[in-house]
């Protein structure tokens, strides 16, 4: 299908810098750098010890034990500090990754339901996994390397200038050339890195859909189609990978070549100085060996810039999530709900598409109300509004005479049991699935299970409530899942229960039992039920007929039968079987 990759421009207002991430870990990073510099520094001593030993030997006052001792001590000090560095490095990078993940998940967990839908879970998955990984790599490899490389570059540059500034100037001039090349290439690469992350989102989406839809794919024998979709994304990923490669394939040889030219300059210019006598041979030799010391860190920075570019692209993506505006909960009312609901001219639209138009009705606390209407009339959306999962555009929604916005969301939602149309089963025990809120007591759990007619089912399981149910709930039948959803909603002892097409997957006999259980066990409950089936809601206090986002009629069954032709039509469509009174 469409290969649309959103070419969204990142928020220009704040330029996120990966290095700023390290601030809270200053202590660790400092130690890291110190250990690295120490081990590198001592490493530079080794050639000194060797040359001194050789000098001493030729001079004839060589002491075997001192040399061995000095050398061994240096070797073990190096070992010690490299090991220490590697330990600190591991902890630092993993801590940064873990903490950033926690920050991200905290942020996501505080976002609204609509935000998650808009941002798309596949992208958030990449944020929390691949993006964090590239930042981890940055911390574990780039930070130390860059510090020690800069240290080496500055150090050797100073030494070079002190030896012979005339020769040093052209050598040091290669640094900006190399720097400039990096700058240009990395600028181009950044765009590609960002795109390659988006392609990973895309791949994730295709894989995800092919997993979620595995059954229908097999029923339709559409494996080939899926493979093509995947190939398309994968080919794009490969091409991007090759594009990035081409840029780096040019960068690294250019850097090496420039450095080699530096060698040549020393050879020709320095050689000239030596021949004309303005430079000693010893200085010339030293120059040569220091150049080697200068070039290695430049190359290392080059390799690291790859990692930094990737990490920056990832951090920019993560930052988009971190800086997204949060929902501001202004509501403070924690009052206990009676169940009086009033909607006044409520409208909702998605983009230009109106979903609900000017909805007005009221529900008296403790009554039972049915919402009936054709497919795509906006029934489920209405329930989304009533739980404040989705915000309405216009109009007012009142609970017990107070605006829905004025309620403290946590207290508000803990009084509303919402039974979704799609069954959502978490991969954990049946008990945890039903007692999904931590406020559920054993007593209310029992009551919920009995009311939802799940008792026999639970008893038939070998581990009873401790049975683990699977991710997509495949070990359960549709009706069982639906009743677990109901029990979950009832377990919080709600004041209001919203049922979204609950009857669809439950047979009528069970449904009838459940409805009478509800009346018996939860006498004060306000019930709003979306249903297709008139027979089971005939006795409800109110029936609301919703069509194409509008309320067509409200009233009791009898009233609607007399006044509303659409309702009569629906009733007729169900009449043919109604003589089998169940």
Partner 1 sequence: MYRSKIHNEVQVTMNYNLNETASKTEQKKSTLAALTKLLGLIKEEKRTLIIAMIIILINAGLSLLGPFLIGHTIDTYIQSKQYHGVILFSGILLCMYITVFITNYLQITLMGGVGQRMLYSLRNAVFNKLQILPVDFFNQNKAGDLISRINNDTDKLNQFFSQSLMQFISSIFTMLGAGIFLLSINPELGAAALLPALVIWIFTKSISPWVKGKNAANLKSVGGLSAEIQESLNNFKVIVAFNRRDYFRKRFGEANQKNYATSVSAGLANNIFTPVYGLSSNIGQLIVLAFGIYLITTGQFTIGLLIGFLAYIYSFYQPLRQLAALWASFQVAMAGWDRISQILSLDTNLLVIEDQKTDSSSAYLSFRDVSFTYPNGKEVLHHVSFDLERGKTYAFVGPTGGGKTTTASLIARLYDASTGTVLLDGKDIRTYHPEERTAKIGFILQEPFLFSGTVRDNILYGNPEYRNLSNDELAEVIKESGLESLLVRFDEGLESKVQTSGDSISLGQKQLIAFMRSVLRKPQLLILDEATANIDTITEQLLESILQKLPSSTTRVIIAHRLNTIENADEIFFVNSGEVIPAGSLQDAVNLLLHGKRES
Give the whole-angstrom CA distance, residue 343 versus residue 542: 15
Query: What's CA 145's distance to the chain center, in Å?
Result: 29
Q: Which of 37, 175, 261, 286 binds partner 1 (CB under 8 A)?
A: 261
Select the span of 270-278, 358-366, 393-401, 554-562 touching partner 1 (CB under 8 A): 270-278
Pick one of 347, 367, 421, 444: the residue that binds partner 1 (CB under 8 A): 421
Using alpha carbons, list the distances in angstroms from residue 347 to 394, 397, 418, 550: 5, 10, 21, 9
Residue closer to partner 1, measured from CB, 34 or 344: 34
Binding window for partner 1 (CB under 8 A); candidates: 11-19, 21-29, 101-109, 550-558: 101-109
If one asks whether residue 37 binds partner 1 (CB under 8 A), the answer comes out as no
User: At closest approach, how far in Å is the CB of 243 from partner 1?
Assistant: 10
For position 24 contacting partner 1 by CB under 8 A, the verdict is no
**Which part of the chain contacts partner 1 (CB under 8 A), choosing from 150-158, 171-179, 232-240, 394-402?**
232-240
Footprint of partner 1 on 509-548 (CB under 8 A) = 509-510, 532-533
| Binding status of residue 336 toward partner 1 by CB under 8 A | no
> At its nearest, how many Å lie between partner 1 and the CB of residue 444?
14
Question: Among 45, 177, 263, 552, which residue sits at the site for partner 1 (rule: CB under 8 A)?
Answer: 263
What is the footprint of partner 1 within residues 361-420 (CB under 8 A)? Answer: 372-376, 379-381, 384, 387, 389-390, 409-410, 413-414, 416, 418, 420
User: To which H or E segment does residue 17 belong?
Assistant: none
Distance, CA of 270 to CA of 181 (rounded, Å):
26
Q: Are 50 and 167 in contact (CB under 8 A)?
A: no
Number of residues that bind partner 1 (CB under 8 A): 172
Residues 1-20 contacting partner 1, CB under 8 A: 1-2
Structure tokens at 323: 């800086």
Region 142-181 residues binding partner 1, contact defined as CB under 8 A: none
Sheet holding 353-363, edge to edge: 353-363, 341-350, 394-399, 402-403
Concatenating the DSSP letter of every residue in 361-417 gives EEE-TT-EEEEE--TTSSHHHHHHHHTTSS--SEEEEEETTEEGGGB-HHHHHTTEE
Half-sphere exposure of 121 (CA within 13 A, CB side): 7
Tell how far CA 461 is from the center of its chain: 36
For partner 1, give the closer residue by CB, 169 or 249. Answer: 249
Query: In whole angstroms, how far apart are CA 379 and each of 53, 482, 530?
Result: 89, 18, 7
Distance CA 114, CA 130 (A): 24
Phi, psi (rounded to 5 degrees) for 554: -135, 150
| Residue with Cβ nearer partner 1 (198 or 501) | 501
Residue of the chain from 182, 284, 522, 540 that contacts partner 1 (CB under 8 A): 284
Site membership for partner 1, residue 234 (CB under 8 A): yes
Q: Among 326, 446, 507, 562, which residue sits at the site for partner 1 (rule: CB under 8 A)? A: 507
**Taking Cα atoms as reference points, which of 519, 520, 515 lies closest to residue 499?**
515
Checking phi first, is residue 39 left (phi over 0); if not, alpha (psi -120 to 50) or beta? Answer: alpha
Stretch 38-77 residues interacting with partner 1 (CB under 8 A):
46, 50, 53-54, 57-58, 62, 64, 67-68, 71-72, 74-76
Taking CB under 8 A as the criterion, the residue among 17, 30, 66, 129 binding partner 1 is 129
Mark the segment that binds partner 1 (CB under 8 A) among 9-17, 158-166, 208-216, 360-368: 208-216
**Of 498, 523, 507, 480, whose CA–CA distance to 580 is shortest?**
507
- The helix/strand/coil state of 103 is helix
Q: How far is the CB of 12 from partner 1 (least distance, A)?
A: 28
- Residue whose CB is less far from partner 1, 16 or 378: 378
**Contact window for partner 1 (CB under 8 A) among 156-164, 173-181, 242-250, 314-322:** 242-250
283 counts as binding partner 1 under rule CB under 8 A: no
- Closest C-alpha to 575, from 545, 533, 525: 533
| Residues in 446-505 at the binding interface with partner 1, rule: CB under 8 A | 456-457, 460, 470-472, 474-480, 482-483, 488, 492, 501, 504-505
Segment interacting with partner 1, rule: CB under 8 A, options 150-158, 173-181, 216-224, 309-317: 216-224
**CA-based end-to-end distance of the chain:** 46
Query: Is residue 191 a contact point for partner 1 (CB under 8 A)?
Result: no
| Residue 422 vs 446, nearer CB to partner 1 | 422
C-alpha to C-alpha distance for 1 and 230, rounded to whole angstroms: 10
Q: Which two tokens stand for residue 197?
A: 């992350």
Question: Cα–Cα distance between 87 and 80 in angstroms, integer?
Answer: 11
Residue closer to partner 1 (CB basis): 188 or 364: 188
Question: Which two three-digit tokens encode residue 82?
Answer: 């490299």
């Amino acid at each position: 299908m469409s290969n649309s990759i959103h070419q969204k421009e990142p928020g220009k207002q704040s330029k996120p810098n990966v290095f700023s991430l390290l601030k809270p870990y200053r202590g660790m990073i400092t130690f890291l750098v110190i250990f690295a510099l120490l081990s590198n520094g001592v490493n530079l001593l080794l050639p000194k010890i060797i040359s001194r030993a050789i000098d001493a030997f030729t001079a004839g006052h060589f002491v075997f034990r001192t040399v061995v001792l000095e050398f061994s001590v240096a070797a073990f000090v190096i070992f010690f500090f490299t090991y220490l560095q590697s330990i600190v490095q591991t902890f630092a990078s993993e801590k940064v990754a873990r903490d950033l993940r926690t920050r991200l998940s905290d942020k996501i967990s505080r976002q609204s339901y609509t935000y998650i839908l808009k941002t798309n879970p596949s992208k958030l998955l990449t944020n929390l996994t691949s993006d964090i990984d590239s930042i981890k790599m940055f911390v574990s490899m780039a930070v130390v390397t860059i510090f020690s490389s800069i240290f080496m570059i500055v150090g050797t540059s100073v030494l070079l200038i002190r030896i012979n500034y005339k020769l040093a100037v052209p050598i040091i001039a290669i640094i900006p050339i190399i720097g400039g090349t990096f700058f240009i290439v990395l600028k181009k690469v950044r765009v590609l890195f960002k795109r390659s992350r988006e392609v990973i989102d895309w791949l994730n989406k295709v894989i995800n859909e092919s997993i979620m839809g595995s059954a229908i794919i097999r029923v339709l024998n559409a494996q080939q189609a899926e493979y093509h979709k995947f190939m398309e994304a994968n080919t794009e990923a490969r091409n991007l990978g090759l594009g990035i490669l081409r840029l780096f394939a040019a960068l690294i040889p250019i850097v090496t070549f420039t450095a080699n030219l530096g060698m040549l300059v020393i050879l020709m210019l320095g050689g000239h100085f030596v021949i004309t006598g303005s430079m000693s041979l010893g200085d010339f030799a030293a120059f040569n060996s220091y150049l080697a010391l200068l070039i290695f860190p430049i190359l290392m920075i080059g390799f690291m810039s790859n990692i930094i570019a990737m990490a920056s692209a990832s951090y920019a993506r993560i930052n988009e999530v971190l800086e997204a505006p949060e929902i501001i909960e202004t509501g403070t009312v924690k009052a206990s709900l009676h169940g009086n609901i009033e909607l006044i001219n409520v409208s909702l639209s998605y983009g230009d598409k109106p979903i609900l138009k000017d909805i007005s009705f009221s529900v008296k606390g403790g009554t039972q109300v049915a919402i009936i209407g054709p497919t795509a009339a906006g029934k489920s959306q209405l329930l989304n509004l009533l739980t404040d999962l989705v915000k309405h555009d216009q109009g007012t929604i009142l609970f017990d005479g107070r605006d829905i916005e004025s309620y403290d969301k946590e207290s508000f939602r803990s009084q509303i049991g919402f039974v979704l149309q799609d069954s959502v089963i978490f991969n954990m025990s049946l008990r945890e699935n039903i007692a999904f809120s931590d406020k559920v007591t054993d007593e209310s759990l029992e009551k919920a299970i009995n009311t939802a007619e799940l008792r026999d089912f639970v008893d038939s399981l070998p581990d009873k409530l401790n049975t683990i149910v699977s991710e997509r709930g495949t070990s359960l039948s549709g009706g069982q899942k639906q009743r677990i959803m109901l029990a979950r909603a009832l377990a919080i002892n709600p004041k209001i229960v919203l049922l979204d097409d609950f009857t669809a997957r439950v047979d009528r006999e069970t449904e009838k039992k459940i409805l009478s259980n509800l009346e018996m066990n939860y006498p004060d409950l306000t019930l709003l039920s979306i249903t297709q089936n008139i027979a089971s809601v005939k006795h409800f206090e109110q029936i609301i007929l919703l069509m194409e986002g509008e309320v067509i009629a409200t009233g009791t069954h009898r009233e609607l039968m007399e006044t509303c032709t659409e309702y009569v039509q629906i009733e007729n469509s169900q009449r043919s079987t109604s003589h089998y009174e169940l």
